[in-house]
Structure 1
Amino acid sequence: MSEVVVVYHSGYGHTQRMAQAVAAGADAELLAIDADGQLPEGGWESLAAAQAIIFGSPTYMGSVSWQFKRFADASSKVWFASGWKDKIAGGFTNSASPSGDKQNTLVTLNTLAMQHGMLWVSLGVMPSNAKAAGPNDPNALGSYMGAMARSPSDASAGEMFAGDLDGARAYGARVAEMAKRFAA
């Protein structure tokens, strides 16, 4: 079992690519929520054994996908037993628009973690918000709560901005480092 698990849903491959970058930075296990909102066999056990859980969902209509929401609702059994209490948590999201209401998705992921009594890790990267900044710069979207990515609606997952993927890897590494510090 991995110390860090990245549990995510991806509808079109962009959030999956971001999840892969987060997992690479954290040396984490990837756990995909399927098209029916279900975890693979052994998924709940992987989450129970993890020191840190990083949640990921695309932003659809201003919030998490229904598949991620189904997973979140199913976690109420874990919540009832305080199964994730004091685990390290983080989250990431992706949408087509520069804002796209991604902040609301991160708030939803944060709220899930808070209800479970988890400890949330911020992005910890200053925004690239000068005139010369572009999508390949770190934290070009100016997030603090977690990692955000922008994938234009006509772009494939392979065309994601390097800055977003670099930021996702750095965020995964930050969450893993906080898990190690907390475990010490």
Structure 2
Amino acid sequence: MGRDTSGCTMTRSSITTAIVYHSGYGHTHRLAEAVAEGAAASMIPIDADGNIPEDGWDTLNAADAIIFGSPTYMGGPSWQFKKFADTSSKAWFEEKWKNKIFGGFTNSASLNGDKLNTLQYFVLLAGQHGGLWVSLAIKPANVKASKRDDPNRMGSYLAPMAQSDADAAPSDMSDGDLETARLYGVRVAEIASRFSGVSTP
């Protein structure tokens, strides 16, 4: 729970968060569900053609926080997500997302898989829209005693990264990756609550 500068107590339920994401095989969808649980967020899927429901734009425009999600394919976000990003140029032109809180998450089969490039793409997209990025703020699980199901086992600082074996079902995903995503959703909502309702001169 946060407090804005006007002294009004704010909670996750006091703000609106929207997750817009593409999932190729269901793993990123499951990650999105974990983020949504933490942030009490609406989920807006990007379909196989790179489109979102028409009312999804209204949801994004009205949200206090927007969280991007995509698998990492060939060193970056999926083409479906990129199509969505290009289509968001209308919101950019009208400054619909200016000063919103932004976050993101990604998944790939490899431990590295160049997932950082996808997160950096999200940060740049948020910056183009004039938004404020939320970091992960979970220390990495990087000692000998660390396990696959520990939070932030990927050692990311920018935002959640998940790893799913290429032949594994979404149900086989690491509990640590899912918990990292859930905690990140909580953090994004808490940061957004500090800014929601704050008037500017």
AA matched with 2:155: G
Residue 133 of structure 2 is matched in structure 1 by 120
Q: Alignment partner for residue 170 of structure 2, among 142, 153, 157? A: 157
Q: Alignment partner for residue 116 of structure 2, among 84, 100, 103? A: 103
AA matched with 2:154: L
2: distance between equivalents of 1:56 and 1:6?
7
* Aligned partner of residue 81 in structure 2, secondary structure: helix
Q: Alignment partner for residue 100 of structure 2, among 87, 91, 111? A: 87
CA RMSD of aligned residues (A): 0.8
Residue 182 of structure 1 is matched in structure 2 by 195
Residue 149 of structure 2 is matched in structure 1 by 136
2: distance between equivalents of 1:84 and 1:179?
13
1: distance between equivalents of 2:156 and 2:53?
30
Identity over aligned pairs, percent: 61
Q: Which runs of no fewer than 5 residues in structure 1 stay unpaired?
A: none
Q: Please identify the structure whose Cα radius of gyration is greater.
A: 2
Alpha-carbon offset, residue 82 of structure 1: 1.1
Q: Which runs of no fewer than 5 residues in structure 2 stay unpaired?
A: 1-14
Q: Alignment partner for residue 66 of structure 2, among 53, 57, 60? A: 53
* Aligned partner of residue 36 in structure 1, secondary structure: coil
Alpha-carbon offset, residue 135 of structure 1: 1.6
Residue 89 of structure 2 is matched in structure 1 by 76
* Aligned partner of residue 59 in structure 1, secondary structure: strand
4+ runs deviating over 3 angstroms: none
AA matched with 1:47: L
TM-score by length of structure 2 reads 0.90
* Aligned partner of residue 112 in structure 2, secondary structure: coil
1: distance between equivalents of 2:115 and 2:52?
23
